[in-house]
Structure 1
Amino acid sequence: MARNKAVVPEARAALNSFKLEIANELGLANYDTIDKGNLTSRQNGYVGGYMTKRLVEMAERQMSGGTK
């Protein structure tokens, strides 16, 4: 698997942990050991989509002083 070099190295572990948390919330247990090729495009897309949604929400809260 190719790794995105744009990710700050110090954030890589946190993002991987976050990805597993999101996958678990979506009902994809053991996402780190699942063969992603056996999942549908929709299932794989949900993980990335929900990660993006939550990261944007976190940034919005931070930018608004945490009151949202």
Structure 2
Amino acid sequence: MTRGRTLVPEAKQGLYKFRTEIANELGVPFSEYNGHLTSRQCGSVGGEMVKRMVEQYERNLK
């Protein structure tokens, strides 16, 4: 299992930027340490990231 590791190390910076953009849009105060956030807050950011990545992939299929 690769939980917590970036499969493509070169993508790490892009994923960080993407996560930050989504968090800002949702009003979730992400930082280097996120232990103060609820599971719901973190999950909403992760869920939105996955949703947008799937949408982008589906657009590229057409």
Q: Same fold (TM over 0.5)?
A: yes
2:59 to 51, 58, 61: 61
- Alignment size in residue pairs: 60
One-letter code of the match for 2:53? L
TM-score, structure 2 as length reference: 0.83
- Gaps spanning 5+ residues in structure 2: where? none
4+ residue runs over 6 A deviation: none
1:21-32 superposed matches below 5 A: 21-29=21-29, 31-32=30-31
Q: Give the corresponding residue for 2:35.
A: 37
One-letter code of the match for 1:12? K
One-letter code of the match for 2:61? M
Identity %: 50
Higher relative contact order (CA 8 A, sep 6+): 2
TM-score, structure 1 as length reference: 0.76
- Gaps spanning 5+ residues in structure 1: where? none
Q: Please provide the CA RMSD for this pair.
A: 1.7
Q: Secondary structure at the match of 1:13?
A: helix
1:5-58 Cα offsets, whole Å, 9 max, x none, are 4x20111110110000000010124x124x411111100100110000000001
